[in-house]
């Protein structure tokens, strides 16, 4: 049996779009001051974990969270320079097409929120859930080694990855609440690695 591998997944801190209750997707928005404080807190929590590799989405809210958190961790551990952050566009949030910038509460009120969370529904000009999920899972497939890894990404990305590892039913995938800047640590076992080699869950 191979040695289990620890991965930690972190959604970005609160963004301007989060504070305004807007759909962000590929809309490249910065963190709020609250989001920066959340990133600092995440970095302090990471000081308790081994970190061999750091991956981040290329969108500003995720990469800013990664830089703040890893600098905070390095300050606690007196670790300079901190681990290099590897930027990957595969870790971007789902592209929501024409819904980007829309008010989430209005979408909920008129029922269009279902287009964002249901596996078999897709907003106009948006990335399908199947395509988005396959893109995200490729990150795990490409980094399938023994390195303890921290990933800074987005709520949708974490729903897909955690749902994949837990074999969550597809129609429940979009329902999971993912908190800003909260570390979710999982241990990848041989069973998970077997899933990665043949991700039938995405079919």
143: which 2 tokens?
């980094």
Phi first, then psi: give them for residue 186, nearest 5 degrees.
-130, 155
In sequence order, what are the beta bridge partners of 53?
149
Helix (H) / strand (E) containing 94: none
Nearest alpha-carbon partner for 134 in 174, 169, 161: 161
End-to-end alpha carbon distance in the chain? 28
Handedness of CA 69, 89, 158, 200 (dihedral sign): negative
Is there a catalytic annotation at residue 109?
A: no
Query: Of the listed 12, 14, 100, 192, which one is catalytic?
Result: 12
Query: Of the listed 64, 93, 100, 127, which one is catalytic?
Result: 93
d(CA 19, CA 34): 9
Q: Catalogue the active-site residues.
A: 12, 93
């Amino acid at each position: 049996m191979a040695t289990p591998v620890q991965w930690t997944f972190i959604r970005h801190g609160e963004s301007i779009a989060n504070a305004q209750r807007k759909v962000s997707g590929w809309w490249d928005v910065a963190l709020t001051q609250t989001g920066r404080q959340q990133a600092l807190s995440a970095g302090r929590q990471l000081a308790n974990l081994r970190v061999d590799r750091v991956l981040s989405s290329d969108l500003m809210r995720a990469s800013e969270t990664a830089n703040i958190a890893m600098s905070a961790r390095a300050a606690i551990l007196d670790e300079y320079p901190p681990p290099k952050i590897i930027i990957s566009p595969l870790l971007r949030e789902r592209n929501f097409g024409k819904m980007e910038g829309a008010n989430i509460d209005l979408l909920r009120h008129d029922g269009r929120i279902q287009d964002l969370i249901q596996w078999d529904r897709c907003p106009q000009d948006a990335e399908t859930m199947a395509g988005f999920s396959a893109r995200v899972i490729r990150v795990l497939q490409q980094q399938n080694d023994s390195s303890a890894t921290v990933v800074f990404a987005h709520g949708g990305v974490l729903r897909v990855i955690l749902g994949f590892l837990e074999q969550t039913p597809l129609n429940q995938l979009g329902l999971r609440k993912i908190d800003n800047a909260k570390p979710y640590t999982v241990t990848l076992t041989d069973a998970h690695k077997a899933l990665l080699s043949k991700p039938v869950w995405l079919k």
